[in-house]
Structure 1
């Protein structure tokens, strides 16, 4: 699939078939995240693959009862480490969020290229997710996504988007 088609047709999928994701497909998707760029090549991420049905249900409840999350055969939780470094006025602790989000975007787009659906979940109880997955206190949960084959929803063209003239400036704001 053409890269621009992947970008244009990626959607948040909220209904999944129970069909398993082949291991080699999952590996390719994770590999896409692994090779993502990060500030000073710090790679401050860790991805937790969840297949256990009870854990998926607990995670869905921790995501404000978005129970569709538990329908997918896999749930991926993206975590980040705050690696402090002395780089002047760079983004500080926000750099970890940026780096993990770049890797997670790679993962989401790779999943679409493989014909799989995802839904970037940013609304969850950080405390509950950390408790469910035994995530250390100094590690942050950045994002969660179900991963699986879409059941009812199809990929297609995006909904209304602002024109470039509204979102791009040249030489000044």
Structure 2
């Protein structure tokens, strides 16, 4: 933001980008140039990474034959979602709006083989080094109860640690896509069949996948997102 924009209260273009970054699921089949996809990955790489380890990898699928093989997996995952979590509108959500979203999800499901590009962010956390002295010091710092909770919640902590190294980059990718006029949306439904997806894409067993992001030129138009007002979600100083 320039000195002038700070003085006048003018918002930088980034705010306009964020406020119109809808999940766009209806895509044209037209290819996305490799140089634009490279720019999306560059934006993702600029995101923060825990300890600056940068152990992320991005699988970018543009081959129609590969996409055709992924399409049945996508269909199974989407159908499983629509049969369970996505069967009913969330509490408080307008039924008509939810119906439109489901229609877009089904459209994407039925046309997945024509998706121009798919980005699959991956991460492989390094094996932790065992340091007995460090573990004793950590336990002393945390106290017995918190140490026990840390041990029992290790799996959740590990998942969140990896996710915190990946999702900031994914958000950068989504913002970059919107800025370039591309449609994209973040999904994790593939995790229901992650083993099959990894096998199809040749992703090593020890590497975790965190999203499947379809990318292409939008059939619709961008517009304001519908979100809860800040006054409903903010808690100042404490809950």
CA drift of 1:109 comes to 0.9
| Greater displacement, 8-17 / 108-117 | 8-17
Whether 1:133 aligns to 2:201 is yes
Whether 1:158 aligns to 2:225 is yes
Secondary structure, aligned partner of 2:27: coil
| Greater displacement, 60-69 / 43-52 | 60-69
| Bigger radius of gyration among the two | 2
Query: Where is the helix percentage greater, Structure 1 or Structure 2?
Result: 2
Deviation above 4 Å: which 4+ runs of structure 1? 84-90
Secondary structure, aligned partner of 1:100: helix
Structure 1: distance between partners of 2:111 and 2:125:
30
Secondary structure, aligned partner of 1:146: strand
CA drift of 1:129 comes to 0.6
Query: Does the 8 Å CA contact 1:78/1:141 hold for their aligned counterparts?
Result: yes
Secondary structure, aligned partner of 1:77: strand
Structure 1: distance between partners of 2:160 and 2:128:
12
Aligned residues: 171
CA drift of 1:72 comes to 2.2
Structure 2: distance between partners of 1:83 and 1:67:
38
Gaps of 5+ in 1: none
Whether 1:19 aligns to 2:86 is no
Query: Does the 8 Å CA contact 1:44/1:100 hold for their aligned counterparts?
Result: no
Structure 2: distance between partners of 1:139 and 1:52:
22
TM-score by length of 2: 0.66
- Residue by residue, what CA displacement relative to the aligned partner does 1:82-107 show, whole Å, maximum 9, x if unpaired? 22457966943421112111111111
TM-score by length of 1: 0.89
| Greater displacement, 78-87 / 12-21 | 78-87
Gaps of 5+ in 2: 1-11, 79-108, 139-149
**CA 1:5/1:70 → structure 2, altered by over 3 Å: closer, same or farther?**
farther
Structure 2: distance between partners of 1:7 and 1:38:
21
CA drift of 1:157 comes to 0.7
Query: Does the 8 Å CA contact 1:34/1:103 hold for their aligned counterparts?
Result: yes
Match 1:143 to one of 186, 199, 211: 211
CA drift of 1:16 comes to 1.4
Query: Does the 8 Å CA contact 1:69/1:75 hold for their aligned counterparts?
Result: no
